[in-house]
Amino acid sequence: MNRIAYLDYNATAPVRPEVVAVIAEALEYGGNPSSVHAAGRVARRAVEDARERIAALVGASPADVIFTSGGTEANNLALGGNVGRRLIVSAVEHGSVLGAAFLLDPHTEVVPVDSSGVIDLGALERALATNDRPAVVALMLANNETGAIQPVAEAASIAHRFDALLHCDAVQPFGKIPLAMPDLGADLLSLSAHKMGGPQGVGALVKRPSVAIKARAIGGGQERGWRAGTENVAGIVGFARAAELALADLDRMAEIGRLRDALEARLRAVTPRATVFGAGAERLPNTSCLSMPDVGSETQVIALDLAGVAVSAGAACSSGKVARSHVLQAMGLADAEASSAIRVSLGWRSTSDDIDRFVGAWTALYARTRPALQGDVALNG
């Protein structure tokens, strides 16, 4: 079978071959990093080496990198590990922030976004000012559905004026745009390996040295007591390698951005009713959330899949089910519009052939769905 046009990097990026190689090697180490014997020490050295490299890549200290099972656990730990603080979250956070926040505190405050999906900083300030109890503010750096980039540094300086901590979910932008914890002013930062060419099931919560976290996973005292459980040695090694490769390859993101822009322009040439959501905001260069007028997201995803093109419907980077997108809803989109949105996300292996295949399949589906409509679509697209 021909290689599919894989355009679902925000769900998971294909693992880079160099990462597969270091994971295979690490799987041979054998020892438990907590064991004192030679095999254990080899594993420990690999974990600590990866910790130093991840810390350097985000401008943090290795002592503040807590390896987790991925972005979800990092987000849960960031919110749940700050006992006693109230929670303020943006309306477009990932489910692992929103769900955890409401479970921890049903009185979690939600800060709205504008029609491009960007947080209302005035509303954030008002939410902070209404109550003296210190808060944790959760604001992602880039949205997984639309790619919209948030003003995290501004939000952090507002939060700090009210003695709040700023937690930033950087799962999507890490490896796609330059980022450094000190520039963001973030007190807590969540990362995940599998969005940039690393393995699934590993990530990190990185904190500022002064931030005290209370463990959620209790057991053998690993990760300096912040997160018990035998470390995923091979995953951690693969994570560090993937992050280094992605960041060394950031120039390629400019090219990816051009491919994404060309894709959007070509769909708009097919029909001006093809809307790109979040286009008014600064966005990750690899992400496009767009609608096919009058065609449900699920129908599009299935038809594109049959044509060898892999994309996601709205927020479906989580469960395989096509749910109503809380992100598009928060941006004020009507149900009819939001329900025709798909997410196309490019990455390190994307080529112009993938874009051609996507545009061809999208155009063919568009034409098939409106036999009554004459002259609106370039049937030969």
Q: How far is the CB of 53 from ligand PLP (least distance, A)?
A: 19
Place of tokens 């041979």: 28
Based on CB atoms, which residue is closest to ligand PLP, 98 or 304?
Answer: 98
What distance in Å separates the CA atoms of residue 199 and residue 131, rounded to the nearest whole number? Answer: 41
The whole-angstrom separation of Cα 371 and Cα 325 is 29
314: left (phi over 0), alpha (psi -120 to 50) or beta: left
In terms of CB distance, is 203 or 285 closer to ligand PLP? 203
Q: Any residues with CB less than 8 A from the CB of 245 and at least 6 apart, and which?
A: 16, 18, 19, 197
* Residue among 156 and 316 whose Cβ is closer to ligand PLP: 316
Which positions ≥6 away from 78 have C-beta within 8 Å?
A: 136, 138, 167, 188, 190, 205, 213
- The sheet carrying 203-207 orders its strands as 65-68, 203-207, 188-192, 165-169, 135-138, 86-90, 109-111
What is the nearest approach in angstroms of ligand PLP to the Cβ of residue 101? 13
Query: Looking at beta carbons only, is 175 or 203 nearer to ligand PLP?
Result: 203
- Token code pair at residue 185: 């002013």
Pick 71 or 185: Cβ nearer ligand PLP: 71
In the complex, the smallest distance separating the C-beta of residue 98 from ligand PLP, rounded to whole angstroms, is 10
Minimum separation from the CB atom of position 152 to ligand PLP (A): 13
Query: Which residues are catalytic, by number?
Result: 317
Cα 22 to Cα 241: distance, rounded to the nearest angstrom: 8
Give min distance, CB of 196 to ligand PLP, in A: 11
Which residues of the chain form contacts with ligand PLP (CB under 6 A)? 70-72, 75, 94, 96, 140, 144, 169, 171-172, 192, 194, 203, 317-318
